[in-house]
Structure 1
Amino acid sequence: MRLGYRLAFAVLALTFIATLPWAPYGGSFVPKVAPILLLIWATLQAPRFAGRGLLVAAIFFSGAGDVILDLVFEGSFIAGLVSFLTAHVFYVVLFLKGARFRRSLAFATLLALSFPVGMALFLWPHLGPMQLPVALYISVIASMLVTSLHRSSLNLTVVAGAIAFVISDSILALNKFYSPFVWARYAIMATYYLAQYLIVTGVLKEQADLA
């Protein structure tokens, strides 16, 4: 991804994070989703590659989730959860293209699974009627993290992005279902933007190197 896109993404992400003390405010979904729309545009401007449609779809559904959660209507959390779950499914399918299991990463895979499983067990008594939806979501994001480790070529930038995504969603879950804390929104959005940036730039650089 070109330097101009990178700088623009940083400016847009920091701009929305700076407005979090007032969010949600009228039209706050616009600056919130702007960095994600920029990633879609940058991906579409990159040379065509196998899986580009999957990447665009994953970013798109993430952006849709951003908008849905910011609108705060009845059932918005479930709708946002479904949108982000769909995004992770597209990421999983993208990562599985040409995937191969690496025995050398077996321990890393167990570690990658242990965190979301541990988070699920910790939150389980606090989830109430959300137990099954959250369990499904955690299963999908855990799959996204594991498949990022076993792509056709190991890309640490993409893996770091997947880890950042798990961290972001874990902070969100702790804040919503266990105990709210004042800096949660800043941590959620910072790690979320970082996750999307690392995954997208990692994939695009990988494809550029192959060209």
Structure 2
Amino acid sequence: MQHHHRSEIAMAAALSSAAGFVDAVGFIHLGGYFVSFMSGNSTRAGAALAGGDGHGFLLAFGLVGAFLLGVITASVLRRLAASRKRLTVLLYVTAALTAAVVLFDLGLGGWLAPAVIALAMGAENVIFERDGEVSIGLTYMTGTLVKMGQQMAAALTGGRRLGWVRYLALWLSLTCGSIVGAFTYHAWSLNALWAAIGVLVVVMVLNSKIRVAATA
């Protein structure tokens, strides 16, 4: 993350806020299951199995599977795209979220809409990739907090004074997005996702402008 330009960090922060927004919407809609936090779903699956809740177990692992499918398909798209790999994945994520909302509005959502949302969140994590590895995780913050703590320790022992700020910005973005998402869900239900889709569209426009400026 330290090797990314400031414009990319700003883009990542916007995408993390959208991810937090979507995860809060999904969490409330599913009654305590996640569409982007798969560690939580894995724990929920174990707890559900121990408690004899077969439906909860299948729901948790279904979301994990959908998330993984999103990562796989988005990674394949990146490899197939001759150019504009980041834009290709952004379009894929936006299309998936839009499909989930449309399914919900048509009354065809059921279990399918949450699965498509989880797929979109898995795909979003492939947006920032270098050398075949995710360089900025957008939908999960455990690793980000660990790195922030390491950078704080480095600052206290003579290292870079502000190396931790980027990680803080990413965590705050997801947290604030989740707060807004929770309030918005109570007003609009899954139609709240249109707000996250709007953020993705803005990011796509900015990404195109950054790319044009870089090649000018």
Q: TM-score, normalised by structure 1?
A: 0.39
Question: Looking at both structures, which has the greater relative contact order when contacts are Cα pairs under 8 Å and sequence separation is at least 6?
Answer: 2
- Which structure has greater helix proportion? 1
Q: TM-score, normalised by structure 2?
A: 0.39
Q: Which has the larger radius of gyration?
A: 2
